[in-house]
Structure 1
Amino acid sequence: MSNTNLKLIGGWFSPFPLRVKIALNIKSLEYDNIEETLYPKSQLLVQSNPVHKKIPVLLHGDKAICESRIILEYIDEVWNSGPSILPSDAYDRAMARFWAAYIDDKCFLAMRKCILVGDEEARKPYLEEIEDSLVTIEGELQKCCREGKGYFGGEEIGLVDITFGSLLGLMGMIETMNGRKMIVEEKHPRVVKWAERFASDPNVKGLIPEPEKLISLIWLGKELYKKE
């Protein structure tokens, strides 16, 4: 590993900085991890991301790069000698971006709404949305596996894997809160196997937060789970 003058402003509780950590690990890049408490927001965060004032922010020397998916693409382009996060083929790259956007726009937003709703009855439509998105993701993963791929993008972790995998902690949190499993063998056999493989990868292992720890921080409310 080499000294790259990198700093990550993030928080262990958020899936978005987690994505950046995984990407940095894949590229074998050293970085300083700066934990942001959000209440109040640090001056460093406000100065580094004056538009949105949100985590994560990657500081590369005197440059600040914001928003997790943009950061992932920046890392992949700048340190292109290591394992690739996005496919080299233009069509495959476009499809990876499509599925990453689907996961954020459909799956994550439903998860966020489910977490922020206190009433059990009010959670039901959001739980259904999550289940629908899991069925769609299972179908895409089955297609990838038929093509001989272990992950969404191939035999190595890529953009879609990082995007979806970063939500596994929140998924466990929702399962614990509602007393029911969301990712089950009967409906999502490929996703179950994929999740086990993803979480045990050396670049990911130990980074996904425990559901109980996330539940203890639910008081952070909208600030914690707002979309970038």
Structure 2
Amino acid sequence: MAESHENLKLFRTWSSPYAMRAVQALKIKGLEYDAVFEDINNKSTSLLQYNPVHRKVPVLLHNGRPVCESLIILEYIDDTWNQPHPLLPHDPYQKAIARFWAKFGDDKLLPSVWRVFVAQGEEQREAAVAEAAGNLKLVEEQLKGKEFFGGERIGYLDIALGWMGNLVGILDEIAGIQLVTGEAFPELSAWIDRFAGHPAIKELWPPHDRMVDKFKAMREPHVKKSQHLVN
């Protein structure tokens, strides 16, 4: 049964993979909250008030106090409601390692996957795929002998890298590629299936068709730019 917290709100959008981290963590913790859906093109005064620096989602509001940035929100949730399902390891070294790979995911892996998605032309795509594959290999090595990055159950790093459970397949479908295959990345491919299909996670994903439409529109300017250069 979910634990009630009358003063817990999450400012999010329907599609943001960063906001989805907070959604997943709150679900795993069994915490009830009010979701405030934002229109990024017409941001509410509340969002701008609670996140005046970056002016973006997600923002977690707890007892009137805002917490910004998705990875920081994950740690706040875990520190505040640590039991019965801690997300971060107790051991300081293992905790530091989890934080390192979460940052690697945001700073290196996600941008490299995005470059594959928007690459135009064979040469550009081959270079982008090579870069992304190298980053994926490094991440896959962290899964050796484990069901989840957190061990036998979903933890902080699983949620931090959880965008792969939904976004990689959508990008593959739109761009006509297969970036994470069972043959090339057996551990990572199996983890994606386990994470995306986990009972606590699978009902949280945004509508597939709507996501495809959104990311097609995001890719279109790159396609048009390439066509313009060719013409």
Measured against the shorter chain, the TM-score band is: 0.7 to 0.9
Higher relative contact order (CA 8 A, sep 6+): 1
Q: Secondary structure at the match of 2:161?
A: helix
Contact 1:7 / 1:31 at 8 angstroms: preserved in 2? Answer: yes
Amino acid at match of 2:23: K
Query: 2:45 & 2:120 partners in 1: Cα distance?
Result: 36
Runs of at least 5 residues in structure 2 that lack an aligned partner in the other structure: 220-231
Partner of 1:226: none
- Asked whether the equivalents of residues 164 and 192 of structure 2 are also in contact (C-alpha less than 8 Å), the reply is no
Amino acid across the alignment from 1:86: L
Q: 1:109 is aligned with what amino acid?
A: P
The answer to whether structure 1 residue 79 and structure 2 residue 68 are counterparts is no
Task: Note the alpha carbon deviations across 1:127-179, whole angstroms, 9 max, x for none.
Answer: 3322221111222212xx1xxx3211211111111111123322122201221
2:25 counterpart SS class:
helix
Structure 1 alignment gaps of length 5 or more? 222-228
Within the alignment, does 1:179 sit opposite 2:141 as a pair? Answer: no
Task: Work out the CA distance in 2 between the residues paired with 1:124 and 1:46.
Answer: 40
Amino acid at match of 1:206: E
User: What is aligned with 1:61?
Assistant: 63
1:23 match = 25
The equivalent of 2:15 in structure 1 is 13
What is the correspondence of 1:27-46 to structure 2 with a 5 Å cutoff? 27-46=29-48
Asked whether the 8 Å contact 1:7–1:32 carries over to 2, the reply is yes
* Equivalent residue number for residue 99 of structure 1: 101
Bigger mean CA offset, 5-14 vs 212-221: 212-221
- CA 1:210–1:119 in 2, change beyond 3 Å: closer, same or farther? farther
The alignment-based identity, stated in percent, is 40
TM-score, structure 1 as length reference: 0.87
Correspondence for 1:194 among 180, 191, 194: 191
Q: Scaled by the length of structure 2, what TM-score is found?
A: 0.86
Q: Structure 1 residues 14, 114: closer, same or farther in 2, change over 3 A?
A: farther
Q: Structure 2: which amino acid aligns with 1:35?
A: F
Residues 46 and 114 of structure 1: is their aligned pair in 2 closer, same or farther, counting only changes over 3 Å? farther
User: Contact 1:6/1:32 (CA < 8 Å) preserved in 2?
Assistant: yes
Distance 2:113 2:8 in 1: 31
1:127 to 126, 129, 133: 129
203-212 vs 44-53, which moves further: 203-212
1:224 corresponding residue in structure 2: none
Distance in 2 (alpha carbons) for counterparts of 1:84 and 1:174: 31
Q: 8 Å contact 1:25–1:203 — kept in the other structure?
A: yes
